[in-house]
């Protein structure tokens, strides 16, 4: 049988939390070679390989089908590919790495509390300021889906921001942001507020499977999913 590859986060809290969940699920991960190796295997399960990758690489490898399973944030998976539900299955939500992808505007925009308010402001923006409303984000796909398709807002521009996005409005790089937040404290420190209907996605770490035909006949796939679900109590919702 073909080797199954599980891509797991290579560092940080999310790596430890993943290892803990897998251990509780009876899938003990053993390092191949030494402790700092980026390859591993599951104790007692043949033909299953662990690849340690960065969280965003895991999303990409799932999109291309280069790995069979991955543990990474739902935000990265949904941002990383079009037609996500056709390409992957969210098998289990793991209960850590919680963070929301949100629309946040300057606190002082007293007139903007909802997406509808933002729609009004965006519609007038060009006439008032000679340019479109600018949104700083690294989530251009999620932003575009949320603004254009869910809220009928077409007239805005995305300014790609790869870090310190919360600072963009004060620095004049953008007017508002779409970013990830867990406690909201960084937003608050930068005098930004989340719109009342501005939560695009409630993300957390997930066990994600790349949809492949050969998985149907592979008992190990079912075994891994069932083991992880048994300790998370979660299914795909």
Partner 1 sequence: MPLIDMPEFAGDLLEEFETRRTVRVNTPVIQPAEPFLDMAGEDLRRRIFLTESETGASLCLRPEFTIPVCLRHIETATGTPKRYSYLGEVFRQRREGSHEFYQAGIEDLGETDVASADARAIADAAGILSRLLPGRALTLTLGDQAVFEAVVKALGLPLGWQKRLIQAFGDMAHLEALLERLARPQPVAGLNSEIADLVTSGSEDELVARIDRTMQETGYSTNASRSPTEIARRLKEKLTLAETKLDGSALLLLREFLTLRLPLSEASAALAGFADAAGLKLGSAIAQFDARLAALSNIGVDLSSMTYRAAFGRPLDYYTGLVFEVTEAEASAVLAGGGRFDRLLTLLGATDHIPAVGFSLWLDRIEMARASR
What is the footprint of partner 1 within residues 89-108 (CB under 8 A)?
106-108
Based on the shown chain and the rule CB under 8 A, indicate whether residue 179 belongs to the binding site for partner 1.
no
**Nearest C-alpha neighbor of 66 from the set 37, 44, 88:** 88
- Is residue 144 involved in binding partner 1 (CB under 8 A)? yes
Q: Does 128 bind partner 1 (CB under 8 A)?
A: yes
Q: Does 80 bind partner 1 (CB under 8 A)?
A: no
86 binds partner 1 (CB under 8 A): no
For residue 66, state whether it binds partner 1 (rule: CB under 8 A).
no
Judged by phi (left if over 0) then psi (alpha if -120 to 50, else beta), residue 152 lies in left
Q: Does 110 bind partner 1 (CB under 8 A)?
A: yes
Question: Cβ closer to partner 1: 11 or 157?
Answer: 157
Residue 235 binds to partner 1 (criterion: CB under 8 A): no
113 makes contact with partner 1 (CB under 8 A): yes
119 lies in the binding site for partner 1 (CB under 8 A): yes
User: Is 129 an interacting residue with respect to partner 1 (CB under 8 A)?
Assistant: yes
The answer to whether residues 101 and 180 touch, using CB atoms and an 8 Å cutoff, is: yes
Q: What is the x/- site pattern for partner 1, positions 184-213, by CB under 8 A?
A: -------x----x-----------------
Stretch that binds partner 1, among 34-42, 73-81, 149-157, 206-214 (CB under 8 A): 149-157
Q: Which residues bind partner 1 (CB under 8 A)?
A: 82, 106-111, 113, 116-117, 119-121, 123-124, 126, 128-129, 131-132, 140-141, 143-144, 147-148, 151-152, 154-158, 169-172, 175, 191, 196
């Amino acid at each position: 049988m073909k080797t199954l590859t599980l891509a797991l986060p290579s560092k940080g809290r999310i790596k430890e939390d993943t290892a803990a969940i897998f251990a509780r699920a009876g899938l003990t991960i053993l390092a191949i070679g030494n402790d700092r190796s980026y390859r591993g295997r599951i104790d007692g399960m043949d033909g299953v390989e662990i690849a340690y990758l960065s969280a965003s690489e895991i999303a990409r490898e799932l999109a291309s089908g280069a790995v069979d399973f991955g543990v990474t944030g739902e935000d990265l998976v949904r941002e990383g590919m079009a037609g996500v539900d056709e390409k992957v299955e969210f098998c289990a939500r793991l209960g850590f790495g919680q963070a929301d992808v949100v629309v946040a505007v300057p606190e002082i925009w007293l007139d903007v509390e909802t997406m509808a308010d933002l729609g009004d402001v965006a519609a007038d923006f060009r006439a008032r300021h000679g340019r479109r409303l600018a949104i700083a984000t690294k989530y251009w796909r999620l932003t575009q889906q949320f603004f254009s398709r869910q809220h009928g807002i077409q007239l805005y521009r995305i300014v790609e921001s790869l870090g310190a996005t919360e600072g963009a409005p004060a620095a004049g790089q953008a007017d508002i942001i779409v970013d990830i937040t867990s406690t909201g404290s960084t937003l608050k420190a930068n005098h930004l507020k989340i719109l009342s209907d501005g939560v695009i996605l409630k993300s957390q770490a997930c066990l994600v499977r790349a949809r492949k035909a050969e998985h149907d006949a592979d008992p190990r796939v079912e075994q891994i999913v069932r083991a992880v679900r048994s300790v998370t109590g979660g299914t795909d919702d």
